[in-house]
Every structure is written in structure tokens, then in C-alpha cells.
Amino acid sequence: MKLSFLGGAGEVTGSCTLVETGDARFLVDCGMFQGGHEAWEKNQRALDFDLRHLDFVLLTHAHIDHSGLLPRLSALGYKGPIHVTATTAELLEVMLLDSAHLQEKEAEWRSRHRDARRRHTVDPLYNVNQARACLEQLRTVAYETEFSPHPGFSCVFHDAGHILGSAIVDVRLRTAAGMRRLVFSGDLGQAANGLLPAPRRIDSADVLLVESTYGNRLHKTSENTRAELIAAISGTLANGNVIIPAFAVGRTQSVLYALADLARSGTLPPLRIFIDSPMAEKATLITRRHLELLAPDVRDLDRWMRSNPAELQLRYTHEVEESMALNQIRAGAIIISASGMCDAGRIKHHLRWNLPRSACAVLITGFQAEGTLGRRLVDGARNVRIFNDDIPVRAQLHTIGGLSAHADRDGLLDWLRGFARAPGHTFVVHGEHDTAVDFAEDVKRKLGWTRVEAPERGDARTVA
């Protein structure tokens, strides 16, 4: 059996693994590369392999860095099934259509800004119609329900606790050497994150792919996170705004419930929260329709929010005009907006208006990839460029690690301790190069596992 690491190896975006056995070829995830100037080129070349004999696709979760090239896969000729959990399918409908819009806009922009002598236009990675066609290929399966995507294969999705619908993909298949079990962790949630249940533990695998986004870091404890949120927010709202860049799906909801918790306990005064991202609004509504998938505390919190609208005023801004009107607010607003890494979307406007003001605060709540505006802010830039303007950074910058939807190093190691014995092969993926390598070393040292490595994009391995 051969595994090809097509993306999300030695990096955190573009997750895609091709598995070829004697009987079938399948993909786990088909993610988009994000951040930096090379992302466009990498996405263009990403699916440059023979798609004709691809039998099925398994998806861990709806985040674009895991799902964003599915419409392109479909547009390039793959017409087979894409297996997902039911909530992932709901989220994909929102996310892939939004992504297609962005692709169309980016292609249009690139066509306009091309050298005028080269008149040909730039095609989008995929368009809205192609995204719609791809959605038709989704096949939904409930957690803990065995299904067979191909003769001789049996799969189960386990709750990964990362975002709504996220799954650990567990594949059993027959090879010439006997039955084999492949486990793909996907992105793993942190047990104490609060929003979702802890990732399901797995006890065995012949081949394991484990993520390592925060493989060399520890998150702050939830008490620390609370204290930081209180410090960042309570001192700011009297004279300034609090701007929170957040992924529309997952992080926005964790932030919302963390704030609601502080408002409910009376630790923070009544809050005025704007969710300024159409996709975040849709994702929040989907989340609130699926309270049964959330941690029990969060269900109570949601009930409290519904019955105490004065304690937590929540507004969704749909139209561009409403979003722009937020720029007139000088103080007292908490604005949660996308993109989470600050390099696209409405958040750029809010940063442009609020970064130069020392009375305001920016709360970074998620991972910031190299090459993104968010990363420059975290790295302490005193000036940043937004929409071709130099913007001085005078706002207070807070990094709140504890809200991450990813397990930290100890969380990952703890999940790995659920294995009764070391998997035959462990591949550490979905981490920047140094992080993945460090984490692979940690796994060897702390768990005594020997066959552990951190492959790079483009690597392939044959395993028995």
C-alpha cells in the first residue's frame, strides 16, 4: 500500500493524502493551500495526478484547508462519492459556495491586473456551479456507523472534537498481507476547549496520520484564557472596540460561547457582539441547530443566551453597508469577523480602522500561518499594509491561545496514549516543518514509538 502526501505535510494547509492499495485508490481530504503568494500556484498544481481511477474520497472536516479543492477535483473529472458526516455536509454547502465566490473574484482581479499585452484571462480554480455540482457528490454518514466505500473496505467516522462534524477517519481494508487499519486523525480538538466533546480515543492502527499544528506548544489553561479575555475586554470597551479575527467555522462559535460564559457569570458587563461575516453567521446558526453535538455546558449556555438577550446583544451584519457602519463605532463593540488569519474578508476593514487606535484591542485567537497579516501582527509588526495603505499598529494585541480548536502538544500526546501499542507506522502531518519534526521526536522519546516520521509535501511511502 502506498501513501502519497500531496499536501498538509510539513505545512498546515492543503491537506490531502492519496492512498493506493492493490484494489482501490482514495483520497483523505482535498484541501486548499492558503496564505502567502505561493498558495495560488500550489492550488493550480495540486491535483496534478491521474484522477481517472480514483474510487472514493473521505473527508475529515469542513475547514477549507481540508475541503477547499473538492470542487476542483470534481471539475477536473472526479465524479465518485465524497463521504462526510451529515453536519460536515451542511457546513460544506456554505463554505464551498463561499469559496467558489472568492475564487471567481480572485480570478477576475488577476485577469484585470495582468500585463495588458497578455490579454488572456485567468480562470478561477472553480466557479459556483462547479461547487454546486461537487456538493451533489457528498454522501453522509453518522458518527460510529460503519460504511463500505468500496468492496473490501470498511470505514467509521469518530468525533474528532475539532469543529462541528469533524471526524477521525478510521479505515479497515484487506491487503495481500492481511487486514490493515488506517487511522487519519484529521484535526484534533482540545479536550478542555469546552465547545465540543473531547476527541474520541483510538486503540490501534497499522498506519496512523496525526496532526501537529500545535505539536511544539502548550495552550494556556482555561482559567488563564478566561483571565486574559477579561483583561483584554473589560479595560477596552469603555474607550475602544475589541476586534477578534476568527475563522467563521469553529473559532467564531468558541469565542462567542466563551464571551457568553463571562457575561452569564457577571464577570463582564452586558456585551454588544457583532458577528460580521455572512459565513460565520450561517455557521453559528448551524451550530445552534445542533446543540446535541456540543458539550453539555454549552447547551446550557445557549439556553441562557436565548433567554437573556439584554445580557448579550448579538447582531449579525449581513450587508456590506451594515459592516461599514461598524467603522463608525468608537467604543463598546466586540466585532468578530473573518478571515481568521486577517488576509481576506471584512476583518481587514475593521483592522484598518481600529489598529491605529491605542484604545482598541485586537484578540488573536487562532493559528496564524506564515505569510499572513495575522502572523505579522503576532510577530509584533509596528506597521502593516492593508489595502495599499501603511497602517500603524497602536492597538493592544492579545494572543489568546486557549480557545484553539486544536489540541496542543500534551493534548496530542495524551490522545496518542490511547493506543494500546505503537502503530506500525506513524506519520506526523499538518504542522509547519520544524513543529512536525519536533513533535515526531517527542512521540519517539515520550511514548517510545520507533517508526515515526514527519513527511514533506510530495513524499510517498510504501507500507506493508
Provide the binding-site residues for Zn ion, judged by CB under 5 A. Answer: 63, 187
Q: Compute the distance between CA of residue 47 and CA of residue 76 in angstroms, rounded to an integer.
A: 9
Min dist. Cβ of residue 366 to Zn ion (A): 10
Q: Compute the distance between CA of residue 209 and CA of residue 207 in angstroms, rounded to an integer.
A: 7
Min dist. Cβ of residue 356 to Zn ion (A): 32
Burial class (CB in 10 A: 0-12, 13-18, 19+), 261: buried
The smaller minimum CB distance to Zn ion, of residues 185 and 241, is found at 185
Min dist. Cβ of residue 63 to Zn ion (A): 4
The smaller minimum CB distance to Zn ion, of residues 366 and 402, is found at 366
Grid coordinates representing 127?
466557479
234 contacts: CB under 8 Å, gap ≥ 6: 268, 269
Do residues 410 and 436 make contact, with C-beta atoms less than 8 angstroms apart? no
The smaller minimum CB distance to Zn ion, of residues 160 and 173, is found at 160
Q: Compute the distance between CA of residue 184 and CA of residue 23 in angstroms, rounded to an integer.
A: 20
By Cβ distance, which residue is nearest to Zn ion? 63
Min dist. Cβ of residue 254 to Zn ion (A): 12
The smaller minimum CB distance to Zn ion, of residues 159 and 187, is found at 187
In terms of residues, how long is the chain?
464
Min dist. Cβ of residue 157 to Zn ion (A): 15
The smaller minimum CB distance to Zn ion, of residues 323 and 372, is found at 372
The smaller minimum CB distance to Zn ion, of residues 63 and 376, is found at 63
Grid coordinates representing 377?
501582527
Min dist. Cβ of residue 432 to Zn ion (A): 15
Question: Residue 164 gets which letter from DSSP?
Answer: T
Min dist. Cβ of residue 162 to Zn ion (A): 6
Burial class (CB in 10 A: 0-12, 13-18, 19+), 135: middle
The smaller minimum CB distance to Zn ion, of residues 80 and 366, is found at 366
Instruction: Tally helices (H) and strands (E) across the chain.
Output: 14, 21
The smaller minimum CB distance to Zn ion, of residues 207 and 405, is found at 405
E runs forming strands in 8-124: 16-20, 25-28, 56-58, 82-85
Residue type, 417: R
- The C-alpha cell 502503530 sits at 423
Cis peptide bond upstream of 339, omega within 30: yes
Min dist. Cβ of residue 249 to Zn ion (A): 8
